[in-house]
Structures are given as structure tokens and as C-alpha cells.
Structure 1
Amino acid sequence: MAAAHLFCSAPAAYRAANPRPLATRGRANPATGTYLVLKGVWCSCAHFPRATPSRRFFPCRASLSPDGSLAMLGAPSPRMAPPMRKPYMREHSCLIFPPPRGRRPLAVIKFLGGAFIGAVPEVTYGYLLELLALEGFVVVCVPYNVTFDHEAAAREVFQSFHACYDALLASGLPEAGLSALDIAELPLYSVGHSNGALLQLLVGSYFSERIPEANAIVSFNNRPASEAVPYFEQIGPLFRQLMPMMEASPVYSMARNASGYAWKALFDLAGGLLREYDQEATVSLSKFIDQLPSVMNQVSEGVSEFKPTPPENREFCKNSYSVPNTLLVKFTVDAIDDTDIVEDVLRPRVDSIGGQIKKVILSGTHLTPCIQDVKWQVGSEYTPADAIAQGLKSLALSETRVLSRTIADWFTSL
């Protein structure tokens, strides 16, 4: 079992109330008053300041278990309120954000997030997804891994979604008070952001059955690898040269294993700060972590471009896109948005199948769908910095709310 123990100097009040001396293991760092023991390996913690009267440090011990969780034991603290019920549930590999209990749902939304961050939508898109659920939608998020093969990714999310959707059609969603019949009567729509927007278009082009009645395409982006990943043309050959040496080194294997534990440990620590912490979210986090070596391996194997290429995707959607209703959303500040290009590609096709396409421009940035309602902690005195931070947060959240309402209004108008 890998274990890490961290001890910090305790305030005098705590020492007086706890006369029993703390057990010590390992060597102390005399420059900082702290020490760290990692299963027999001493590590310097120079970045931790020495405890002073102006800082509140408490003795703590952290243990990193083989499953990557980080348990912390520390000084007694006031009893915390029980955590709020998480706003989503899991079905197969998907996450479901249901509407408020007792409210008749309007539709089922299949949601795909952007590259990398789409693997943990409960963390990266939680606020937007909750807003859509509050509007009355059953939002089904499909996590997926990044790959240079967009066709394979599109087919994977199609299969993953329908495995979850079929389960809902068979059993309903009892936790949300929805029967199978309730689900079966709902129309199916989809929302995609950035790379997820591309995958939604590809799903609507590769398949002609069991596809949504409408798509909301937000911040569409599909550029060549050399543009999507700056300096990719230089990075690719470098990886190919270095990978044999990296893989031959025992440090490489150790680093890959340790990185997973480290990420999960940090996630466990951050979990105490998240309003709706889900222990099962480590499953999504593991998928997020696992993407990195997978992408590195593809680069080292000589992959130099997305498959199909962006021009091939445009040509295929131009001839095969089958979703009749499409909303295109772009933001005022977004240097990597390709919405105008995809509008020119889709409009003739949508007109030919008797559908409709609408484009809107909203205030915001490429990351507006990812804005979270993080609680800003004001100090003992309300400062100008607090006012600025809260003002910026309020503006960003407002833009995300406008996005949610725009999508909801579009779907309900159909």
C-alpha cells in the first residue's frame, strides 16, 4: 500500500487541548517545519511555509491507497452539513441529469462535450447541464475519449448513448419518478459543444435512423491537426523519436501509474469543495486521465491528421446530414469557431430535406458552456477585488444562462 503522511505544526490552542504528542515518522525539514514520508522515500516540502501565528496550520495525515483515493485525518472540525444530493445519476457509461421531480419532461437531450473535457461532463459542464434539466429536459451526457479517428468516436458515442437510451425506454428512470412510457413519449434532441458539436453532425450523417429530431451545435470546431494543436507538425516527429527511449525507461511506467494515483488523490481532495461530489466520478476521471497516453501513442505511431480530414467531413455532411432541424450557436469572442463554415455546408442539405437551420450569435467565449457556479469566498472585509471577481462571475454565469435558455427556446419551438 502506498501511503503518504504529512504533518504540519499545530497552533498552541490545539496543542493545549491535545497534550498527547503527535506520532512522528520520517525526517523533518528544518527549513519549513514540515516533513513528508512516502513509503520509505523522504521528499522535501519546501513549498510549504513554516507555521506562524498569522497562519492556521493543523496536524494532518494523508494516506494514498492503491485505488488512488486520498484519505485525510486532521484536527477536529465543526460538523459539516450533509452533502447535497448530486443532480445526476449514472446509467451504463452515461450520466443523466433529470428535470425536477414532479415536472413533466419536455424531451430527451443527448449531450456531447468538447475534446478531453467531454470525458468528465459532470465537472466541466455541470452548470449548463443543470440549467437544461431545470428547463424540463432529461439530459443524457455521453462521455467519450479523444482520438484522431472522428468516425470511430462518432460511432462509439452513438452506441453508448443508445445503450443508455434503450435502458431508459425499458425501465424508465424511477429515481426521477419517470416511467418507461414517460420516456418513450419524449422527442429526442441533441446538443454538442466544440468537438462534441462535430461528433453530433457526424452521427447525424453516418446514421439515418434513431437520430435526433434537432441538433443544437455550439461553437463548432473542426480544423486540421496542425491548427487544432499548435506546432503539431514539430511535436509529432519529436514524439516518434523520444517514445522508444521513454518506453524503455522504468521511470516511464512508474510515472504513468503514479500520475493516475496523483490525479485521483487531487480529485479526492477537491471533492470536499465540490457541492455535489460523486464518488463514482473517479470512473470518469480515470477515463480523462487515460486519454493522455492514448493520444501520445497515436502521435508516436505516426498519426498526423484527423480521420476523416476536415474537408472530408464537410463533404460527407453536405451530402448525408439527416437531422431536419439545426440551431447553430457562436459566441462573440471565439477565435477557433467554425460556425460560419459549417452553416454554408449544412444549409443546402437541410433545405433539401425540408428542414430548417438557424444561426444565433451570443455574448460569450468558447468556454462559456463550461462556466461553473463556483462559490467566491469573501474575506472579513469586502474589497474591490471581491467586487470585481463577483461581477465577472455574475457576467459569465449570465452568459451561460442565456445559452441554456436559447437552446431550450429553440427545442420547445419545434
Structure 2
Amino acid sequence: MALSHSPPFSRSSFSISTSTKTKTKTQNPTLSPSSFRTTPAPPLPIHVPRVVPFLSDGFVGSLKPTPSPKPYVRRDTCLVVPPPRGRKPLAVVKFLGGAFVGAVPEVTYGHLMELLAREGYLVISVPYNVTFNHEMAARQVYERFHACFDGLLESGLPDASISPLEISGLPLYSVGHSNGALLQLLVGSYFDEKLPQANAIVSFNNKPATEAVPYFEQLGPFMSQVLPVVESIPVYSMATSASESTLKALMDTAGSVIQEIDKEAFLSLTKFADQLPSVFNQVREGTSEFKPTPPENREFFKKSYCVPCTLLVKFSIDAIDESDTIEEVLRPRVESFGGKIEKITLSGNHLTPCFQDLKWPVGPLYTPADALAQSLKSLSLNETRVLSRTITDWFKSLEIDS
């Protein structure tokens, strides 16, 4: 509160006694209570930032940090992650993620794709939805990738200052994780043109439906009863029909750091939510196994796989990895036409390719929980970096050999 004084209250109203060195106030006969008045000042504006608490004791972080630009560009149905600006790409890398998570690679594989791009590669990720028909998925991925790639050959990537001439003639490689690794092998077997010169197969697995989905045989009758309920629940309804403002409000409440909704990313998230009902529908309609079946795929690979160079990557902790099995299938075929196949085991697990470089804010008090979380994050990110470096070093070794 501010004080304002009336004009009769002047400097002469005060005197200082030098002998006692104390300040005394002499009475002014003209000064009355009414001449000394106060007026309330407007309240000072106080900015209270909206915050979300983190694990550290007493720490709160702002919801609106400076947003970083997106590292990818959308082209047709694909995401393109270019190398650092001003650097000519060494090669084009087609990227396929795993089941479900492969539908939104910008969310689930963003860090790994950026690491590949920083090494000088132009990464083209092909999102796809889960289906029991792997043949259809492989053909769809092939067509979507080449539609995007042909567009880049024609117009380049102006957003990253990459001309069509800089893309034309580049080697084509491919990286696939989990179910994406299976689709890579299928593409390399169904087609005999426009194929990558090399495949990096990460955490390959192609188990029968009864093993991939526990109690699969009982799901068919169950889904025919449950699916109508699933489609009617509010959460599913929100996921498929929520407005952008609703989604933004939900993310804001959850402590999201995005300031503006990427409309295309919003559509991707909606498609991600649509996958489960789609799979449930296939089960309800009588689907009982993947098409082709895993044994049919293995026989097909033995006769038709024709990608010259293949790197199999498995992790030290991965109960569903089948790299050893697929190596036995592919090696005779690859060596029969003079190609080469290698296998390597890295530290990590089946989710290592999906780890993201999320910021872990630390408050004034550094707690044991902070230490543990940062240690685990550091270890996981290091394993992802080793994976990226292993793949890119292998690609570069092929360029030297050629």
C-alpha cells in the first residue's frame, strides 16, 4: 500500500537534534489528522507461472519452455529426418518401427532416427498400422516409401536445403526394429527391384500368433462380445473424436511441454488409438494366425530373399528375439548369391531402440530418486547411441568395401 501526504506536511516539519543524535519530530500546529490521508495503490501484478511438480523435493518446472523445432519433415505419408543443415547426405535410410509403436515413429523412435541423421543419413520413416496380414503390410510399406522417395528425387527437400541432385544416386539402406525387421525381410523377398543395398535387422521376431499374443485362441469369441463395449467407452471416443483444444488441455494438465499442437501429429495419435479396435475386429472375424505364417515366411526367405548385405542386431536381454533362428535361414541364401551376413550382440533390451532423450529436471534438493532415474536414463541412452553408431559404422564399412 502506498502513502500520499497532503501539501501542509512539509520538510520543515522535521528537525534533528545534534546534541542527542536522535531524530525528533516537532509538532506542526497546522497538521491535523485530516491532513494526513492514505489512498490505496493498485495491487502490484504478480506473475505466478503454471507449474507441474517433479520428483525432486520442492522442485517445480515451468510448463512452457522454449520449444525446439521439429527434427523431421512430413512428406506424403512418411517422416523425413535430414542430416544437419549444410551437410550432404551420405545415403538414404528407410526406417520401420515395431508393432503399434511403428505407427507414430516421431514419438517412439525420434531419438534413434535423429542419431542416424546426425551421422549424415537422410532417414525416411514409414509409419504403418498393425495387421495380421504381414504380406499386405510389407507391400504397403514398399509403396509408401517409394512414393515419398520419388517425390524427393523430383523436388528435393527444400526445408533442409537438400536438392534433388544431392539425393539422386545415393545408396539406399534400411533399418527395421522388431515387426519392422520382419517387414524388411518380406520386402526384400517379394520385390526384386528398388531394394536397399543393405538391411540392418534389429531384434527380429516372428512368432506364431498363439505365442505372440497369450491366450490368442480364446480371444476370438471374447472380442465379438467385448468390441462393441470398447468402441463405446469414453476414452476411446475421446481418442478418436477429441478436438485439438481438448487434446491440448489434457496435455497441459499432464505437464506437457508442447505449446502448439502439430495437426499432423494429432492425426497420427488418432491413428495410433485406432489400431487396437482394428486388430480386435480381425480377431472377431475369425483371424487365427498371421499371414503368411512364420514357417511360410522362413521358407520364402530361403528361396527369395535378395538384399546383398544384412546385419542382424540382437540385445543381451531380449526374451522374444529370434535373430539366431533367422540367421540360420538367411545365411545359405545370402551366401548363394555372393552377399554377406553378419550378426552382433549389443548391451540392451527389446525396447532400447525406443528410448527417448527426455529431460529430467533436478530441483534444489538432489534426491536418491533423481540419482537413480538419471543413472538409468544415462545407461539406456548410451545403449541407444551404441546401437546407432554400430549401424552407421556398418553402413560406412559397406561404402569403403564398394
Equivalent pair of 1:84/1:276 in contact (CA under 8 Å) = no
Matched, 1:83 2:62: no
Q: Distance in 2 between matches of 1:366 and 1:254?
A: 32
Summarize the Cα distance change of 1:165–1:228 in structure 2 as closer, same or farther, 3 Å threshold: same
Matched, 1:175 2:159: yes
Q: Which amino acid aligns with 2:162?
A: L
Q: Distance in 2 between matches of 1:287 and 1:322?
A: 33
Q: 1:329 is paired with a residue of what secondary structure?
A: strand
Summarize the Cα distance change of 1:278–1:130 in structure 2 as closer, same or farther, 3 Å threshold: farther
Report which stretch shifted further, 266-275 or 301-310.
Answer: 266-275
| Counterpart residue number, 1:296 | 280
Q: 1:139 is paired with a residue of what secondary structure?
A: strand
| Greater RCO (CA < 8 Å, at least 6 residues apart) | 2
Q: 1:332 is paired with a residue of what secondary structure?
A: strand
Q: Distance in 2 between matches of 1:263 and 1:233?
A: 37
Aligned residues: 342
TM-score, normalization: structure 2?
0.79
**Deviation for aligned residue 1:378:** 1.3
| Counterpart residue number, 2:223 | 239
* Alignment deviations for residues 322-372 of structure 1 (CA, whole Å, 9 cap, x no partner): 100000000000000010010000000000111000000000000000001
Matched, 1:159 2:143: yes
Equivalent pair of 1:86/1:277 in contact (CA under 8 Å) = no
Q: Distance in 2 between matches of 1:276 and 1:96?
A: 21
Q: Distance in 1 between matches of 2:208 and 2:62?
A: 54
| Counterpart residue number, 1:340 | 324
| Counterpart residue number, 1:378 | 362
Which of 232, 245, 251 aligns to 1:252? It is 232
Summarize the Cα distance change of 1:100–1:259 in structure 2 as closer, same or farther, 3 Å threshold: closer
Q: Distance in 2 between matches of 1:230 and 1:55?
A: 44
Q: Distance in 1 between matches of 2:146 and 2:165?
A: 17
Report which stretch shifted further, 287-296 or 208-217.
Answer: 287-296
* Alignment deviations for residues 302-336 of structure 1 (CA, whole Å, 9 cap, x no partner): 10110000000111011100100000000000000
Q: Distance in 2 between matches of 1:253 and 1:363?
A: 41
* Alignment deviations for residues 252-279 of structure 1 (CA, whole Å, 9 cap, x no partner): 2876433324697277446842599744
Equivalent pair of 2:200/2:312 in contact (CA under 8 Å) = yes
Equivalent pair of 1:86/1:276 in contact (CA under 8 Å) = no
| Counterpart residue number, 2:299 | 315
Equivalent pair of 1:125/1:370 in contact (CA under 8 Å) = yes
| Counterpart residue number, 2:371 | 387
Q: Distance in 2 between matches of 1:131 and 1:348?
A: 33
1:89-238 alignment, distance < 5 Å: 89-238=73-222
TM-score, normalization: structure 1?
0.77
**Deviation for aligned residue 1:80:** 4.9
Q: Which amino acid aligns with 1:286?
A: T
Equivalent pair of 1:86/1:278 in contact (CA under 8 Å) = no
Q: 1:413 is paired with a residue of what secondary structure?
A: helix
Q: Which amino acid aligns with 1:99?
A: P
Summarize the Cα distance change of 1:372–1:347 in structure 2 as closer, same or farther, 3 Å threshold: same
Q: 2:238 is paired with a residue of what secondary structure?
A: helix
Overall identity of the aligned pairs, in %: 64
Matched, 1:329 2:329: no
Summarize the Cα distance change of 1:99–1:298 in structure 2 as closer, same or farther, 3 Å threshold: same
Q: Which amino acid aligns with 2:391?
A: I
Q: 1:280 is paired with a residue of what secondary structure?
A: helix
1:243-282 alignment, distance < 5 Å: 243=227, 246=229, 252=232, 256-261=236-241, 265=247, 268-269=251-252, 272-273=256-257, 278-282=262-266
- Once superposed, what is the RMSD of the aligned Cα atoms? 2.7
Q: Structure 2: which 5+ residue stretches go unaligned?
A: 1-42, 47-56
Matched, 1:406 2:386: no
Report which stretch shifted further, 257-266 or 353-362.
Answer: 257-266
Summarize the Cα distance change of 1:389–1:285 in structure 2 as closer, same or farther, 3 Å threshold: same
Summarize the Cα distance change of 1:150–1:80 in structure 2 as closer, same or farther, 3 Å threshold: closer
Which contiguous aligned blocks of 4+ residues in structure 1 show a shift greater than 6 angstroms? 16-19, 54-57
